[in-house]
Amino acid sequence: MTEPAKTLLEASFNPKIKSYLLWYGVLMCIVMIFTIPFIPLWLIFASYFVNKYFERLHCELTTRSLKFNKGYIFRTEKTIPLDKIQDLTFKEGPLLKAFGLSILQIETAGSSASASADLSLIGIVNASQFRDKVLDQRDLVTENTSSSSAPSSDNSENVLEVLKDIRASLERIEKSK
C-alpha cells in the first residue's frame, strides 16, 4: 500500500497579478474597438472578481504530483502526476514584463504539440526556483519508478522458462500440420 502524498512546497503568487488582469481586460477592450465603452464597467466590476480569483489561486508540489486550483466563477482544479511532466517553460510578453510577471507553462506526456500547455501558472513568486524544485522532484519520482519496475533476476528467469515452453508448443503445433 502506498503512503499518502506529502506537500513539499506551496507556491505563492505575486499580488501584481490583480493589476495585470485588470489591464489585460482593458487592453482586450481596446483591441475589440466596439467594447471600448465597457472599459469603465470593467474597471468597476472586474476588481471584485479579480480579487476573488487571486484569493483562490493555490499551487502545491507534493511527493507525487503538482496540484493547482484557480477560479471564482469557473473553478479549475488540476492534478498532474510528476512522472507525466515533460517540460516546464517560461513565457513573457510586454504586458507581463511591465508588471514583473511571467507564465510557467507545464506540458505533459500525451499532450499534442499543436495544443496549448496543460497548465499555465501566472505570477509565481520565485518561479525559476519553483520550476527547479518541480523538476528535481520529477526526477526523483521517475528514478524510483524505473528502478522499482526493473525485473528481478528470479522473475526474468521465470519469464524465460515460460517463453521457452511457448516456443516448444508452437513448434509442436507447426509439425502436426
pLDDT at 66: 92
pLDDT at 115: 57
> Can you list the residues of the chain whose pLDDT is less than 70?
1-3, 111-117, 145-154
pLDDT at 120: 86
Residues in the chain: 177
The answer to whether the CB of 137 falls within 8 A of the CB of 8 is yes
pLDDT at 7: 85
The answer to whether the CB of 136 falls within 8 A of the CB of 128 is no
pLDDT at 48: 92
pLDDT at 60: 93
pLDDT at 151: 55
Q: Is 34 exposed, middle or buried (0-12, 13-18, 19+ CB in 10 A)?
A: exposed
Each residue of 44-65: pLDDT tens digit? Answer: 999 999 999 999 999 999 998 9
The answer to whether the CB of 108 falls within 8 A of the CB of 85 is yes
Domains of the chain: 7-176 (2.30.29.30)
List all residues 6 or more positions away from 87 whose beta carbon is below 8 Å from its beta carbon: 106, 107
pLDDT at 145: 67
Q: Is 123 exposed, middle or buried (0-12, 13-18, 19+ CB in 10 A)?
A: buried
pLDDT at 159: 83
CA–CA dist 56, 34 (Å, integer): 32
Look at strands 7-11 and 85-91 and give their pairing. unpaired
pLDDT at 87: 87
CA–CA dist 53, 45 (Å, integer): 13
pLDDT at 73: 86
The answer to whether the CB of 105 falls within 8 A of the CB of 91 is yes
pLDDT at 158: 81
Its sign, for the CA torsion 123, 128, 129, 132, is positive
Q: Which of 55, 115, 72, 120 is nearest to 92 (CA)?
A: 120
